[in-house]
Every structure is written in structure tokens, then in C-alpha cells.
A = this chain, B = another copy of it.
């Protein structure tokens, strides 16, 4: 048959809507002088709106991992005691970055699929009062786990430690009340729930994080918050180094549409689609992975049916139907496949997906009732 663009149902990048593609194919706004300042300010305002904060926002040209490095390098000094709350692959990444910058790292290392608990964080902080920073993922795409971060943030704030949240894959998909919950640094990116293309990351930096920044001695240049703050304070807001202008143009277009839909609307849509995915998967007899799948509104991790591998399912979905889902990562390799449903998705995308999944599972010899997955998802949408 004819070639059509592949459909991204991965943990990111996510489907890029036409208005984002158009905005990033438009002539470049020059980044020194009027025009860019308005673009950057609109991006910053949109991010503040999305994660509910009055904090400053530092906009990087980098992947989300660059944002993670920025959050570490701007707040720590070698020898600092830090706590990493790890529920999977990206928790391990926080650990690695903190170690690279010479921190003394304690890790609460949850089994993959489990969700972080505020009580464990409280205990770790009370056991070692020398710990000054807590790093945590909101959404951990390697397992689908979405941590309930509000009580964790509150526990950390109550002990006067710094709370740094990786919200790269949650911002715009899961509620984040940065100021209300007491998050000091919130990290996000362009290519997840917003549906822009990868290349922009951000750190929202609260007042206590700025205080930590002042005394932090970790070596840094490209990600140095002070450089960004000074550039933003010029008469036309600027970026200190030449930014990924086209990506930012796309991200601002995405934020405009997000604001039209409304924060509540976006969050409810993500919950609805996630429920439909879970219903369809279970109707096909496939078990969900994880302790608390109801919270997993970003990515759904599904255990492989007996006798089938994630490689087979992922491979056939892509080669035959052009739908890209992700295989298991780390210790979950060979155990699960992961369906991304964050970003620019609506009900028909989910039904289309189940059509393809049913055909693939059938072709691989798995016994199912054709239409059962689609019907279960339809039932969710009918309400």
C-alpha cells in the first residue's frame, strides 16, 4: 500500500500537529532584537500557566536530559548530600548526573513498576539530616508510573530541603501545581504533552532554588541559570546563546492551542484516553504492569502475552501498520511494551490503535475476540 507518515505512540516525541509543523516551517524570528523577545516571553508565560507557577523559567536548547543536568549543575556543589527517588530509568539518570557533579548520592530505589511513597522520602531525610536536595520523577516513562508528588514535595519542603522534579513527560499531561505544592525546580520539554518537536527543555526556578544557585559551585557554562536570567532581563528578552528558534516557534504555537483547550480540558482528555487504553488492553486479556496503573495517564506499560515478545509486537505494529510503540527498557526488556498516549491524541486515535493491535496480536497467534479492544475503548468514550 502507499506510504503514510508513521504514527508516534511512544513516550516521546509525540505526534506533531499541523500548526506546530507550520510554525516551525515559517521564517525564523531573529533572536537578537524585537520579535524574539515576544516569542520567548510567550513561551515562558505559557510554561508558567501550564505548571502553575510564578517562578522564573529558563529555556534551554537541549533535550530534557539537558534540563536535568541544568537542575543539578545549578544547585549542587561537589560533596553535597542528595537524595534521588528512583522508580526507573530516569531516576537512574538523575543518580548518574548527581554523581558526575561530585554529589554524595543516596537512592531510594523502588522496584520498577512501583510508585514512590512520601513516607519513604520522609524516612530517608530524617535518617540523614545532611541531605539537602531531593530529585524525583513525576512521570517515569520506562514503567508508566506517575508518582503522586504533592505529598512528597510537601514533606521535602517541611524539612527545608530543595525539591527538584523531572516533569519532562508529565507537564501538560498531569496536574502540576508547582508553587502550591512547593516544588523548587520543575523540568520540562517541548516534545512530550505539548506536541512540539524535540530541542527545547526548561527549568522553572523558584526562589529557594535561586538561593541554592548562589552558593552552588558546580562547573557550568551552557546551562548556567545566571546567563539565562541576565539575557532575559535585557530590554528585549533574549537567550544567552543562539536558541533553537524554529522549535521554539513550534512550541509557542502548541502552547497557544493548549491554552485554548484549557488546562483542565487537557488533563481530563489525558485521563479519558488513558482509561480507554487500559480498558481496551484488559479487554484483550493483556495484564497491565505496575502498582497503580490508574495513575499512568502518560504511558501504559503492558505485559507481553505468554509466548510473545515485546520485540515481536512492537516490530509488527511498526512494519505493517506504521504505529510506533516502545519495547521494554532496562530490566523490563522482554517483559512489556509501552504505549504512549500523551500529547496530541483524541479518541479516534485510540480506536485506530486498537484496530492495529488486534490485527497484530491475531497475526502473532494470540487468541482474541476481534473488536473486543476497540469496543472496550468505545465504551469508555460513550461514558
Contacts and interface: CB of A to CB of B under 8 A. Distances in A.
A5 interface: yes
Contact of A199 (B33, B218, B240, B246): B246
A348 interface: no
A363 interface: no
A25 B22 contact: yes
Interface string A16-28: 1000011011111
> Considering residues A33, A189, A191, A219, which has the most beta carbons from chain B within 10 angstroms of its beta carbon?
A219
A25 B27 contact: no
A245 interface: yes
Binding site of A, secondary structure by majority: helix, strand, loop or mixed? loop
Interface string A28-46: 1011110100000000000
Interface residues of A, number: 58
Contact of A13 (B69, B97, B242): B242
A49 interface: no
A286 B250 CA distance: 41
A74 interface: no
Interface stretch (A56-64, A109-117, A302-310): A56-64
A102 interface: yes
Given A33-B324, A65-B222, A66-B222, A242 B198 contact: yes
Interface in A221-259: 221-224, 240-247, 250
Given A24-B25, A66-B241, 10 more contacts: A6-B30, A32-B326, A61-B63, A64-B242, A73-B219, A101-B219, A189-B242, A198-B242, A198-B245, A222-B223
30 contacts: A12-B242, A13-B242, A24-B25, A30-B324, A32-B326, A61-B61, A61-B62, A61-B198, A61-B244, A62-B62, A62-B241, A63-B241, A63-B244, A64-B242, A65-B221, A65-B222, A65-B241, A69-B221, A72-B221, A78-B219, A96-B221, A97-B221, A102-B219, A189-B242, A197-B245, A198-B245, A198-B246, A199-B243, A218-B219, A246-B247
